[in-house]
Amino acid sequence: MGLVPARVHVGVPVELVGDRPWSTDVGAAGESLAKRAFDLTVAALLLFVLTPTLLLIAAAIYIESGGPVFFRQERGGLRGRVFSIWKFRTMLPTESFGGWTQRDDKRVTALGAFLRRTSLDELPQLFNVIAGDMSLVGPRPHASAMDAEFGAAIGEYQARMRVRPGITGLAQISDLRGSVDGVEAMRQRVRADVEYIDRWSMGLDLKILAKTVPHLLGSSNAY
C-alpha cells in the first residue's frame, strides 16, 4: 500500500494516510519519548554551552547593521502545523527575507554570508527544539508557501510532515542544502527525507549529528 497524497493548506493540520510506521512522530511510543528526551537534553546543554557564542553573534549583527538581531518566519511543521522559526538575521534589516537566496545575493550582509555558510544562523532554532516545534534531526522545514507549491508537485512531499522538522538531517549531510532551483532539486531532498523516516533510529540521529559539523565546514552549497 503506498502513501496517499494530501494537499497542504497553510495553517491547516494535515492528515497523512499510508503504510509508514508512525502516526504522529518517529517510532513507537517509547521511541518517540526517547527521541524527545534526547532532543530536550542535548538542546538545553547546547544552549548552556553556546550562550557566550549566541551573545557574541547577536552583538556583531547589531553592530554591523543595526535593526533586529533575529528574524522569525512561519514554517510547516509536524502534521502540517505552522510554527514560527527562529534564526539570526543575515540580511539587511530593510529586507523581508522573501524567497530563496542566490549566490552573492546583495541582500545578505557580510556577517550574514559567514553565518549562512557555517549555518551559525540556525543556532536559535535550539529554542524551537525546546518548545517542541522542531527536533535536532529531521527534514528541514520550509516556508508555508513552498510547502503548498511543492506539496502539489511531489507526491511524497507530505511524508516529511509525519515527523518534527529538524535543525539538521540526512539531506543536509548529503549535499542537499542551500537554494532549490526547481522541482527536481526539491524531489532529491524529499527522497533523502523519506529515506531518513524509513530508516530512523537513535543511532541514525547520532550518526547525522556527528557528521553535521565537519560536513558544514566543507560544504559550499549554503549562501
pLDDT digits (tens, 9 = 90+) for 23-59: 444 445 567 888 999 999 999 999 999 999 999 999 9
Confidence of residue 106 (pLDDT cuts 50, 70, 90): confident
46-50, 63-67, 164-168: segment of lowest average pLDDT: 63-67
pLDDT of residue 5: 37
**Does residue 160 surpass a pLDDT of 60?**
yes
Q: Would the pLDDT of 9 be above 70?
A: no
Q: Is the dihedral of CA 212, 214, 220, 223 positive or negative?
A: positive
For residue 24, give the DSSP letter.
S
pTM of the model: 0.82
Q: Give the C-alpha distances (Å, rounded to integers) separating 52 from 40, 48, 49, 65.
A: 20, 9, 8, 20
Q: Tell me what percent of the residues of the chain surpass a pLDDT of 70.
A: 78
Dist CA 193 CA 3 (whole Å): 14
What residues does each domain of the chain span? 29-218
Dihedral angle, C-alpha 78, 80, 85, 90, nearest 10 °: 120
